[in-house]
Every structure is written in structure tokens, then in C-alpha cells.
A and B are shown apart, each in its own frame.
Chain A
Amino acid sequence: MDEPRTTPLHRWHLGQGANMARFGRYDMPLWYPAGARAEHLAVIEAAGIFDTSHMAVIGLQGDGARDLLQRCFTKDLDRCQGRDRGPLTVGRCVYGVFLAADGTVIDDAIVYRLAETAWMVVVNAGMGPAVAGHLERQGGARVRVTDYSDRLGKMDIQGPLAARILARVLHDPGPVLADMVYFSCKGGFDELQTPTPVRLSDGTPLLLSRTGYTGEFGFELFVAGDRIVSLWQTVLAAGEGLGILPCGLAARDSLRTGAVLPLSHQDIGPWRFVNNPWLFALPWGDGGKVFSKDFIGAEALRQDPGNEHTLPFAGFDPRKITVGKDTFVTDLRGDTIGQVLTCATDMAIDRIGAMIVSVATPPAEGRPVDYRPRGLSCGFIKVNRLLAAGDSVLITDGRRQIKVEIRNDIRPHRSARRPITSML
């Protein structure tokens, strides 16, 4: 077995008694002693921090960068921002996908416009060389592609208290945070700079974005590799007494699943990017029927999408099945109709009558006093027919059969988009 890669926080994770596991080539924390359930709930009710230094960051510099991205990335950078669909401005970012010519997914990504001709692409762990290589091969004059994988430190802080905690560690936090709308970025360090500097109280420069992978309010923080351990400890100390917890990959997975966010190479991957809950990643023109630009993979997506559908589901109790080659989806008669892509337990939700209720649901909308949800299994299936929200199917691993319901959405009352003014 080859030596696993580690992030600069690896020693810290071990020192905390984290339960470690391999994720791709990295040895990462699954959970810390508080446990995955407490970590999941902390992100929804207070704040959690995640070591995400294993993610890959690619920089694109030059006049040719925009055209290269327009060719390779699904979002139309000229028509993707705001209600009136304007161009991506400096200090804003957008989620989309990199497709191959056959319409299959290379990786999903967030593209940041750092400056007029400076862009940053954040992709999944281990995908730096593949995506940077893809961009370089697509060529383009006047663009320099740099793979920063394993050179940066990155951490996510997610949860309703994220801004209040960050304010405690930032230099001059007021102006920095006041106007950070959802999917915006500020700050920078080394070669990755936006026009607005952001520093910690100790002077460390950082790049800050209002993004994340939990569906909850929060930020991603990028720093030079030799500053991440100090940043992590500073943020953790600042959140002490407010309920902050370090969170591992188990909580990260259960949070993102409840938020209906895909995991690359599991929920999206080497099949055409059609008939799934994430088609907002495509560049729809006015009318929502045709693409507003051409891009690699567009032609393949314009063909008949076929009958394979990726759909979110939620169960009726915490029971789930372990996804593997023997896991199937059947209809209620027992006929196999597809496979399970993701199955996790969202600890923050439970069913009350016909509704799924979260710990974050306001009492006026149905959350009982002293609500203690058991959790619900949830995830994504890929089946050979279109099913409607409310339809039931069975997911099975051959020994156990669990009835689940197709959903449009899973965990309600998520905080990701809350106006920042209400979170300070």
C-alpha cells in the first residue's frame, strides 16, 4: 500500500484522537472524539471547521484565461451572475462542471474571478493535475495555468456563527464581511490576489470566499501552506465557548448529502451530465431551453438525454445501506430499476407527519420544543425512469431492504444564502 498523502494539519488530527481514514490518496479525519453526529449538528447550530487542504487549486492568469474557461467550464462567465444574469465580476465566483467532449464529467469546480485577468479554479482532492492538464491541452494563447495542489492551506468554517467567529480573528473585520454576498471572495496571498486585501489580526494574508460544501452559511479560507496550522488553531480558539467543533469527512458527507450537493466521481462522473438535480450548472439561455454559449460537451448534452435519472431520496428512519456493487434500487414490486450512488444519514432531520423537519426549522414552521431528531437516511439514486417527488422505491444491499422517498429537497431551512447582515 503506497504512503498516504497528508495535509499540514495531519499531526493535529492525530493529536486530537481523530478516527482517520483514507480519502483518495490522503489520510484524513473521519471524525474527532465528539463524534460525527455532534459535528454534523454543530455546523447547523453553531460552527464547524474542516481541513480541506487536500483540495486542488489551479490559477489561470492572462488575457486568454477567460476564453479558455468559457470553452471548458459549463457556466457562461458572461451570463451567470445575479438575477439579470450578468458577467462574473471581480470578487465573485460560480459553481459549474468541466466536461469531456462526450458530455461526461471530469470534475465539478468553483471558478473565482480574482482580478480582471486572474482566475482561480478549485476542484476536488487529487484532481489538480487532471484539470490543469485538461486546461493546458485546450491551449489558448496568453494564459498561464498553475497547479497549486499541495502548496496551499485551506480550511472551511461553516455554520450560523461562522462570521461572528471569523470577525474575531480578522484585522478590521467590519468592512471585510459587511458586503460579502453568497459566492463572493476577497483578499489573497502570494500569486492569488483580489484587489481587496484581507489579513488576520496577526498580519497573515488570506483569501476568503463565501462558499462551502455543507449547504450552511460559511466561508472557505485559503492561506499559504505554512500558515494553515496557525490559522486553524486561531479560528478554533476564537470559537471556543460558542460551540465550534473540528469536523471530519463523515460530517462533511452527511451535511452535503442533506443539502443535495453532489460528490464528484460518485454522484456525477463518467456518464453524461443530464437528468440530474444539478443542471443549474449549465449555461441556460433565456427561455431555459438552449445553451447561451458553446463549450466542450455541449453537443453531447444536446442529444436525446435518454432515460437514466439521478434523483435525491430520503428514508423514513436513520437506517441506510452501505453503497457497493451489490446495492440496487428496486420498485415496490422488487424489480431492479437502478443503483444507489450515495447513502448517508442526515442527523439534523426527522419526519413529523408528512414533513421533514430540521433542528434549524423555525418553531412556527413545525419544529417541536426539545426537538431531538433521530436522523434520516438520504442520498442519490440513478434509475432507468423518471420518478416524481413523493414516489417510493426500495434500496437494497441484498440483505436489507429500505423504503425511501424521492425528494426535490432533503434538509430544509439551510442557512447558506442568508444575508450576511443577519449573521454578524
Chain B
Amino acid sequence: MKELSELDFPETVRYTEDHEWAAVDGEIVRIGVSDYAQDQLGDIVYVEMPEIGDIFEKGDEFGTLESVKAVSEIYMPVGGEVVAVNEALVDTPEMINQDPYGAWIVEIRVTDVGEYDELMSAEDYIEMLRG
């Protein structure tokens, strides 16, 4: 397992306590899991994703990541409607391990952009991991 100093936490995205990241672009938010999450989980072998059109609230479970070790639920950092899912993850789920910030899982149209601003900055997330 990597030390915190060996993991990536780009400042261009925001983070949740459950180790998701969110990147906003207008009213669309892209969601994935952090480098810490993929390092902890180990090899991801299957990703369960929602359907386009599904509507979730902040904190809802929207999918799962199957790793060698266990099944992990993933939770919505913000509420909204699913407008895209990353089909590439069906055949190559390990992209999440290789490129956790490039391998987004879903894109959603946010209901309330304010929820995005409430998420943690990279600095706060690293603090949380240290603590």
C-alpha cells in the first residue's frame, strides 16, 4: 500500500469522505474515486454503474466497485440525473486503478451546484486521510 505522499490528489477536483472525486463543468459533474480509494481496494475487476436517466440525491449509493478484496459501494457526491456512464469500464475496469482521475464513472446534471462547493478541497481531503 502506498504512503499518502506517493498518492495523487489533484487540486482541480473536489473530494468526499467516502473517497469519491467530483469535477464540475457548468451544470455537469464528473465523478470517480480517488487514488487513495483505488490503492486501498486493489485490482478492480467489475464496475456496477447506474442507467442513464437515473436520478439520485447527494449521498445515495449509485454503483459498486468489485475488487479482489471486496465489494465497495460508491456514493453520489452531489445530487442529480445521470447523463453518461463510462462504458469503457465494462471491458477494462482496471482503468480505475491505472488512472483514477481519468477513469470517470458517471457524469451527472447537478440539481444544486451548491452541493459541489460543499465538497472537500484536496488539502482538506489529505488532512482527513492523515487524521
Contact = CB atoms under 8 A, between A and B. Distances in A.
A322 B70 contact: yes
B6 to A, nearest CB: 8
Interface string A223-261: 000000000000000000000000000100010000000
Interface in B37-51: 39-40, 42-43, 45-46, 48
A137 to B, nearest CB: 39
A345 B71 contact: no
A318 B66 contact: yes
B130 interface: no
A416 interface: no
Nearest to B46: A318
B45 A375 contact: yes
Interface string B85-118: 0000000001001000000000000000000000
Nearest to A254: B68
B42 A30 contact: yes
A208 interface: no
A19 B68 contact: no
Range class of the B interface residue count = 10 to 19
A17 B1 contact: yes
Given A36-B68, A37-B68, A400-B71, A19 B1 contact: yes
B46 A319 contact: yes
B4 to A, nearest CB: 13
A31 B67 CA distance: 12
B1 to A, nearest CB: 4
Given A35-B97, A319-B48, A250 B42 contact: yes
B2 to A, nearest CB: 6
A319 B42 contact: no
Contacts of B97: 35
Contact of B46 (A317, A321, A322): A317
Interface in A12-44: 17-20, 30-31, 35-38
Contact of B94 (A17, A37, A254, A320): A37
Interface string B26-59: 0000000000000110110110100000000000
Given A19-B1, A319-B48, A36 B42 contact: yes
Nearest to B1: A19
Range class of the A interface residue count = 20 to 34
A36 B43 CA distance: 6
Interface in B65-84: 66, 68-71
A47 interface: no
A374 B46 contact: yes
Given A254-B68, A320-B66, A35 B43 contact: yes
Interface in A282-332: 317-322
Contact of B45 (A19, A30, A345): A345
Contacts of B40: 19
A347 interface: yes
A68 to B, nearest CB: 41
A319 B63 CA distance: 12
Contact of B1 (A18, A318, A347): A18
A282 to B, nearest CB: 33
Nearest to A20: B1
Given A35-B42, A35-B97, 17 more contacts: A17-B1, A17-B2, A19-B1, A19-B39, A30-B42, A36-B42, A37-B94, A38-B43, A250-B42, A317-B46, A318-B46, A319-B71, A320-B71, A322-B70, A322-B71, A345-B45, A400-B71
Q: Top 5 closest A-B pairs, CB basis?
A: A36-B68, A37-B43, A19-B1, A318-B46, A318-B45
